[in-house]
Structure 1
């Protein structure tokens, strides 16, 4: 556990007046002068853009709330993914938590009554004015836990998307150019394999491999298919061209040596560290790595490009700040969220390799960060954010992990894997009354 404390009495007075923003003359619990604690959980690494921004937000928060100590615990994505329902239904629930967005996660918890309804605070503090259009999709859930409408149960304050990271030095060494089409991309992968280099860093035990399979499926997908899969606005054929192509091509990539056969048991951290160490020329993963790569890669030049041959990629607004219904310090949680939405923190996020939602564009001076934001804007301008494959059904994340592991190991055919991932999806539709 890390405890971060702020001081600066003058800053405390100024920021307290701006952060509370209630418009009422009555003292709030935060102004009572009694010692209080805000328990905060998130899973961003300290070197990431979000990790840096949230650490600064903690300092600002404690400066504006001199009677409050923030008790921050860094949890892993997996820890929160697997235990959230149980923890939030107990006395161990934090006051504020980062949580994955989507029907199977935040939607499920909202339906279970485990998350506080943030609608009133969102309107009062103007978060709805900062989060416009598609950024609201993952923040709002109806009474079935389906995203896109209803009450606000979470606040995203950054964007994210999956891209292709590449090692410029290895590309130059093997005379590979940045591909503009899918055919040229696979030709580049063949070039590396012929040179004895496994081209793509992978992790089958966590999210990266399933996101690659989904990205491949998206190369054959159109918007109606996406809306059917993610929002239940139509029938999804798991043996149709989209998922069949994704699974067949993923298995083929393993067979051709594009993805390592020993990657089924690797975790996302293993994948990221291997790329940072220069062991692979390519990593297909999310913008959440961007700030860390900018900080930790010292020995080679690197860049990124959008996945060739696809108009859509996995991505959305970022993970959500959610306030557990059992929190006894909701007012403090709301104040902290407000600080993370401030221009100062949003600008820091943008200059640290993140994708802010409320930054001042003129304040983003870091060239790498500008490149990232340009790619995100290009994708969003084309309405190309396709959410994530594990969102549509509770427990689907683990189903997909098992599926891609079977494809990597060759222990099941693609048809068998598609049958296995279809079952829980169809069961969830039945539970929702579709």
Structure 2
């Protein structure tokens, strides 16, 4: 397979049929507005959060504050994720570009647009407002991109004001009925899985048809990894040993857990929704998945008490910032965009995100009045305090999600050995990542 060697080719891999226009635009600063519309008192804003989501509620309040304090009007358009993803390159290269919009973080998304000159370098605004002081190191990673669009270094191209991470959800009632305590070591975690399996209960809600199984695989690798390994895997700092301890442990453990009855033998045909529902209805007592499920569990679980704990034996966890506020290079009112970002980072807006089921990046825990929300936020903050956020397994290449899903299905079905799958995944990974070293 030919290597992807240009930004245009990478864009085609990500956007599929979407037309991608890559222009060499002149370098910009995060300074004031330019052009004929610079004096406009309207902020054109796009995002794709639903009105009743944590971010939707908080950002609606931010809009009201912005209009009251600036006298400007916000022209808000709710776009779908797919609308923004598939048309971003065309729209941002036109006079239809908004002044500020929510955009997905990562090399293949925000990084790609930054490398094409379609996003504003907002480094000066970050320094002026001190946004870098409010963001933990791992949260900053997805906001900065180098000239190739690789995250982690270079200029600032976005600001996240919420986060996300993967944790262990557990059924407290099921644990109590089985006489089990929350495990604090990896061996104790395996003992818990074994105890449920001995009772004829498949302990782990899992999905091999979509993302959850790959995230569990990556979490197992992280339990043997350190920050340098994460940087090598995600940021291409050094070659990754696909037969090393980290990946070998993860792949071999998945196969063992299926054989031991900890994961259903039918996992290859199970979707994420089905896995989540099996936890909601009490069929499976443990679910390793993301904070994006938390609000739904609060709303839908009424038959048992539940909680969360970090994966025992690992200081590293899957997760990252949420999506980014980005300012298009062709935005007419950049200074107004920076004022709006600043409002979304204020304590009262951060508290609104937190009290409505989201994960604020700069909230005071004392402002979180909802007990269940506080539990999640404290768990997220604990991960950030040890610089534990380690992103997601499919991020390194635009096509790695599908490749990882297919490879792990081979492992759990027994159609390929862990070593064979690792060799295959390693070749696919290196075919892309090798271009950045």
TM-score (norm 1): 0.81
Does 1:53 pair with 2:53?
no
Q: 1:247 aligns with which of 251, 255, 277?
A: 251
Closer/same/farther in 2, CA of residues 373 and 223 from structure 1, 3 Å limit: same
> Equivalents in 2 of 1:363, 1:198: separation in Å?
39
The residue number in structure 2 matching 1:308 is 312
The range that moved more, 407-416 or 304-313, is 407-416
The residue number in structure 2 matching 1:202 is 206
The range that moved more, 349-358 or 166-175, is 349-358
The residue number in structure 2 matching 1:285 is 289
The residue number in structure 2 matching 1:73 is 79
Q: 1:373 aligns with which of 373, 377, 386?
A: 377
The residue number in structure 2 matching 1:9 is none
Aligned residues between the structures: 401
Show the 5 A alignment for 1:99-138. 99-131=103-135, 133-138=137-142
Closer/same/farther in 2, CA of residues 100 and 39 from structure 1, 3 Å limit: closer
Q: 1:40 aligns with which of 21, 37, 47?
A: 47
Does 1:320 pair with 2:327?
no
Q: Which runs of 5+ in 1 are unaligned?
A: 1-20
The residue number in structure 2 matching 1:90 is 90
Q: Which runs of 5+ in 2 are unaligned?
A: 1-30
> Equivalents in 2 of 1:41, 1:29: separation in Å?
27
Runs of 4+ with deviation above 6 angstroms: 62-66
The answer to whether the Cα contact below 8 Å between 1:89 and 1:326 also exists between their aligned partners in 2 is no
The answer to whether the Cα contact below 8 Å between 1:168 and 1:303 also exists between their aligned partners in 2 is yes
Show the 5 A alignment for 1:392-407. 392-407=396-411
Q: Which deviations, in whole Å up to 9, do the C-alpha atoms of 1:204-231 show, x marking residues without a partner? A: 2332211100011111223332232222
Does 1:219 pair with 2:223?
yes
The range that moved more, 419-428 or 288-297, is 288-297
The range that moved more, 419-428 or 65-74, is 65-74
The residue number in structure 1 matching 2:41 is 31
The answer to whether the Cα contact below 8 Å between 2:136 and 2:387 also exists between their aligned partners in 1 is no
> Equivalents in 1 of 2:296, 2:270: separation in Å?
19
The answer to whether the Cα contact below 8 Å between 1:49 and 1:288 also exists between their aligned partners in 2 is no
Closer/same/farther in 2, CA of residues 336 and 272 from structure 1, 3 Å limit: farther
The answer to whether the Cα contact below 8 Å between 1:47 and 1:292 also exists between their aligned partners in 2 is no
TM-score (norm 2): 0.80
The residue number in structure 2 matching 1:275 is 279
Does 1:297 pair with 2:307?
no
Closer/same/farther in 2, CA of residues 69 and 233 from structure 1, 3 Å limit: closer
Aligned-pair distance for 1:343? 1.9
RMSD over aligned CA atoms reads: 3.2
The answer to whether the Cα contact below 8 Å between 1:160 and 1:355 also exists between their aligned partners in 2 is yes
Aligned-pair distance for 1:283? 0.9
> Equivalents in 2 of 1:346, 1:309: separation in Å?
31
> Equivalents in 2 of 1:98, 1:398: separation in Å?
25
> Equivalents in 2 of 1:165, 1:46: separation in Å?
26
- Secondary structure (helix, strand or coil) at the match of 1:175 reads coil
Closer/same/farther in 2, CA of residues 388 and 295 from structure 1, 3 Å limit: same
Q: 2:362 aligns with which of 358, 362, 367?
A: 358
Closer/same/farther in 2, CA of residues 40 and 101 from structure 1, 3 Å limit: closer
Q: Which deviations, in whole Å up to 9, do the C-alpha atoms of 1:376-428 show, x marking residues without a partner? A: 23323333222222222232222222222333333332122212221232122
The residue number in structure 2 matching 1:15 is none
> Equivalents in 1 of 2:284, 2:131: separation in Å?
41
Q: 1:146 aligns with which of 146, 150, 153?
A: 150
The residue number in structure 2 matching 1:170 is 174
- Secondary structure (helix, strand or coil) at the match of 2:341 reads helix
The answer to whether the Cα contact below 8 Å between 1:62 and 1:69 also exists between their aligned partners in 2 is no
> Equivalents in 1 of 2:213, 2:343: separation in Å?
35
- Secondary structure (helix, strand or coil) at the match of 2:325 reads strand
The answer to whether the Cα contact below 8 Å between 1:104 and 1:395 also exists between their aligned partners in 2 is no
Q: Which deviations, in whole Å up to 9, do the C-alpha atoms of 1:247-287 show, x marking residues without a partner? A: 11112222222222333344433333332232321110122
Q: 2:161 aligns with which of 146, 157, 179?
A: 157
- Secondary structure (helix, strand or coil) at the match of 1:70 reads strand
Q: Which deviations, in whole Å up to 9, do the C-alpha atoms of 1:3-29 show, x marking residues without a partner? A: xxxxxxxxxxxxxxxxxx989xx9965
